[in-house]
Amino acid sequence: MILSAALGNLSAQSARSSKFGIGTLENAFQAEAEQFLMSRPEIGEELQSHPTASGGITDITFRNIPLELKAEPSRLVTLDDCKKYFDQTASYSIGLGKKVGLLAVFETSSKSSPHGVVEDDMQISTHQLNNSAIAIVTIIIRGGYPVPSSYSKR
């Protein structure tokens, strides 16, 4: 829950401040997310970058719970679109001996209108991987918003 709350905060900051511009790429997002999470006192040094699990390399772990980071710089994504990353996230969770994993999808497509409230971009799902049920906490972090006054200038 600590990591979920922090990612929700990052998502809200992104929506409020236009923190990330149109087309921001995954490596820039990963660096920003890692720095943001490490600066939080409740997370700090317990965050690990790129540990191995299930023969792969995770993006980030916190208390051995994987956080998989993905980016979509060119199109609007939905929570349903994020399901294509569930097998990877669940595999890392199982490899680390956990029944939960986090997935943060960073979306910075060009927007012509506000997308919606941050809470609608968060979901907890159960993902079945062979005989194991893994909880996947998904959070979409959106960027690419113009300043609100631009909506009335069309």
Q: Beta-strand (E) ranges in 22-99? A: 47-49, 52-53, 56-57, 60-62, 65-72
Give yes or no for residue 13 having a pLDDT over 90: no
Strands 132-142 and 122-129: antiparallel
Determine the 3-state secondary structure of 90 from DSSP.
helix
Query: Angle of helix 26-38 relative to helix 2-17, nearest 10 degrees?
Result: 120
Predicted local distance difference test score (pLDDT) of residue 48 = 87
Give yes or no for residue 21 having a pLDDT over 80: no
- The tokens for 16 are 């409020």
Predicted local distance difference test score (pLDDT) of residue 154 = 58
Q: What is the pTM of this model?
A: 0.87
Name the residue among 64, 36, 70 with its Cα closest to residue 52: 64
Please give the average per-residue pLDDT across 29-39, as a whole number. 89
